[in-house]
Structure 1
């Protein structure tokens, strides 16, 4: 069937010209300043060194002024042509000055909504809204920057639309599940491996310097302390700075996490979006009985290592009983720590001489649980409905011993469920049974039933097919010349 040339031309013209609706909104007016100040500061820092050496400060000042003016004009134009709003079952973001681009983030694929407030943003009263969607390699079309109240209202509307209820439904109330005490957070930082390694490194060098004091090597000794100082700083920031004032709360629209010392972060993970949970206990925490909870969330899978660590922490430090309670909240209908376990066979001791007795796994009707680790212990839980694939892995030593491992794959992230060193025939049976359990669980999985009690108070508003098993497409982009 063919179309008339005139209709094809009209269709092509309609595809090129897609004006932004009048009701769409712009970002905060301070957006150009917040986006551009870092580049200007870098230009001043690097260019200023050359200017000081050459003595041409006047020319450098004019160059910086020209860069600032050009950057401000460019930023203002980008801000003016960037607008966002809802278009059916998607959040649409139009941007671009010369090359126009229109992004649409499907709300039925929404995995999490975060509100981040960097230090500069906190001083100026603005926030960044990040949308994590299934199948996305990174945050889809982050809105930098919005006023704080606008960011909170937009997050509530996004979650309401994704849940299929009235878009005007206010932010749901919450119940605090766990707060991390400051003294526990400080001690958990001090007892971290990076912190201890940094302190030992610095103390060792200082002692050596006292015994071999020589003014000629003072600079070398001080510079050799830098790796230890960096390790201590990294440990302080990773555990204490990022997780300062950590609060985990439960609400009808998901699990909410608030944390941060300089840069604050407000995460909201809708129900059913958690792909797996790992309870970990480092060696130095064992005397205190502390553990950490990490999660896999589909939208966070493609982020960088630093961002993934920042967004995957469900509890930075807690007692075993507190973590067990949170684990039951996150995975309702089951108690992973009470699932009966099956232990690895004796030949596994040749591959894990000091930890083969810790290797175990178990299943119930909802989850598969894997336990391992001697120095750093871990219990990993993956819901059957979130299993992406199951595979047998067998190395050359395992083949000689008649053993194999089974990997239960979820979305990429910190949760890694591997049932290690089982008899080969048993491993194949585990794969077949787990694949069948996953198939049946996916049929019964209904993550779209968020905020059921609020649905009764509001007329349903269709938001597309919210089945978590749909295609992984996260957003669409159309470039318009």
Structure 2
């Protein structure tokens, strides 16, 4: 394996400097200054102790209640619950009182801690995204959680739990305005709706998902088993076997339908805005230029409907759990190819990934990918590198040159015998990977050198810190279906092969 850096002798965007004031890649936790917290700093919402502590109280009731029911000592259990509630409320109130936040120069500073004081700073020039989440309990009480994602951060940097709804909206607008280099008192920018997902389409996309269909097949099989084997003792064992199918169906319903309910994608001067959610609502704002890569995906059962999904990589989200990463990386949960193409061109402003000529994989690749080797292809222009692959589950990936972290060649034992190699164009960790599979080894090394040079030149022209004056109109033109150009190259298409 060999690796090519994309800059002058070093790999960009991999140092701790990319995060907020950082130590080992995480937000710096330093003692509060001797002068203490400034007077203009604000506290969180007064209901914060209640929202943070109710889960622990509920767990105590659930576990302690079982023992109390068995022993019959409900009186003692009630006194224990009251004591836990009082102790938790006092602890929460003390923590809330000593937690304050405010702007300190070019960073948002958050002071917290009772015995051990901590002061964390989130650098605004590294701000990648600002989210407002409203869990069900928060919606009932009128509060929100504000989460900030920064480049190089392993998780959300010092999430503010909880703020009043209006306070959260104002703080998000101020964060984005300061990060964009405009007046801090600038109100939230107006937005224009780009795409709304119809409920009917969202429901059908859920029913046609692989997880849902798999769970449904299991349920049908179990129902047949019930009819064939009427033994009551066997029914209990079969009933337990239903559980995985029920979980699979429930996961499919929630991940696609519950989380993406009411999905709206809008554009504004301060970035792309996403609103979605049935029980827990999420308001995402991703500043322009912070998208590291985009993938257009098409599951097999969606093909007859002509639907696709758009996923993105955004620096800062990578350190989250798989569950949270899936929730924050979806740019469009389901859309037609034409709708997704429009959004793709807008997100990657200045380029048209679907018009980039593609180079198919060489014939020896069929020994390593008997099914679908003809779908393997890659291409590049002055703005992006694109990769196409997949037969049953089709993928089309586009990564801007300026967002390339490193480029490397990987050769497995079978690849070496066939004279092949794979090129990986690395961005920030996330669901979008640009992997150029099974090229001739000498071609792979040429790809590495040329891509590293493209990335180096692109990064010199890319200045993401202040974006308000740098917005570009999306590139137009280009046929999304594409046609062969007559000399072995092709135009990108997720709908069909042109080879």
TM-score (norm 1): 0.91
Task: Say whether 1:204 aligns with 2:221.
Answer: yes
- 1:352 equivalent to 2:369? Answer yes
Q: Deviations over 1:54-110 (max 9, x none)?
A: 111111111111111100000000000000000000000000011110000000000
Q: 1:404 aligns with which of 405, 410, 421?
A: 421
> Please, which of 330, 338, 361 is the counterpart of residue 321 of structure 1?
338
C-alpha distance in 2, partners of 1:301/1:137? 7
Q: Which residue of 2 aligns with 1:395?
A: 412
Q: How far 1:15 sits from its partner (Å)?
A: 7.2
After superposition, residues 374-453 of structure 1 pair within 5 angstroms as 374-452=391-469
Counterpart for residue 24 of structure 1: 41
Distance across 1 between alignment mates of 2:442 and 2:448: 10
Deviation string 1:371-401 (CA, Å, 9 cap, x unpaired) is 0001100000000000000000000000000
Q: CA deviation at 1:452?
A: 2.5
Instruction: Determine whether 1:169 maps to 2:186.
Output: yes
Could you say what secondary structure the match of 2:284 adopts?
Answer: strand
Which aligned pairs between 1:90-239 and structure 2 lie closer than 5 A?
Answer: 90-239=107-256
* Conservation of the 8 A alpha-carbon contact between 2:134 and 2:144: yes
Aligned to 2:76: 59
* Deviation, structure 1 residue 453: 9.1
What SS does the aligned partner of 1:20 have?
Answer: coil
1:369 to 379, 386, 390: 386
Q: Given the alignment, which residue of 92, 100, 103 partners 1:75?
A: 92
SS at match of 2:357: coil
Aligned mates of 1:451, 1:444 — CA distance in 2: 16
Find the residue that maps to 1:365 and give its secondary structure: coil
Secondary structure at 1:99's aligned position in 2? Answer: coil
Distance across 2 between alignment mates of 1:126 and 1:370:
43
Cα deviation, 1:137-170, whole Å, max 9, x if unaligned, reads: 0000000000000000000000000001100000
Find the residue that maps to 2:39 and give its secondary structure. Answer: coil
Aligned equivalents of 1:293, 1:397: Cα separation in 2: 33
d(CA) in 1 for partners of 2:438, 2:33:
58
Deviations 1:145-201 (A, max 9, x none): 000000000000000000011000000011111100000000000000110011110
Superposition pairs for residues 227-306 of structure 1, below 5 Å? 227-306=244-323
Distance 1:290 1:440, change over 3 A: same
SS at match of 2:267: strand
Runs of 4+ in 1 over 6 A off after TM superposition: none
The equivalent position to 1:85 in structure 2, one of 96, 99, 102, is 102
Query: Secondary structure of the residue that 1:300 maps to in structure 2?
Result: coil
Quick one: distance in 2 between partners of 1:15 and 1:242?
Answer: 39
1:50 maps to: 67
Q: Which runs of 5+ in 1 are unaligned?
A: 1-13, 455-481
Structure 2 portions without partners, runs of 5+: 1-30, 472-499
| 1:340 alignment partner, one of 357, 362, 369 | 357
CA distance in 2, matches of 1:194, 1:15: 50
SS at match of 2:463: coil
Task: Provide, for residues 188-232 of structure 1, a one-character-per-residue CA deviation record: whole Å limited to 9, x for no partner.
Answer: 000001100111101101111101111222222222111100000
Report how far residue 16 of structure 1 moved. 5.9
User: Shift of the alpha carbon at 1:51?
Assistant: 1.0
Q: Return the alpha-carbon distance in structure 2 between the equivalents of residues 220 and 355 of structure 1.
A: 41
Secondary structure of the equivalent of 2:304?
coil
Per the TM alignment, residue 301 of structure 1 is displaced from its structure 2 partner at its CA by 1.1
Alignment partner of 1:316: what SS?
strand
2:273 match: secondary structure: strand
Conserved? CA contact 2:32–2:118, under 8 Å:
no
- TM-score, length basis structure 2: 0.87
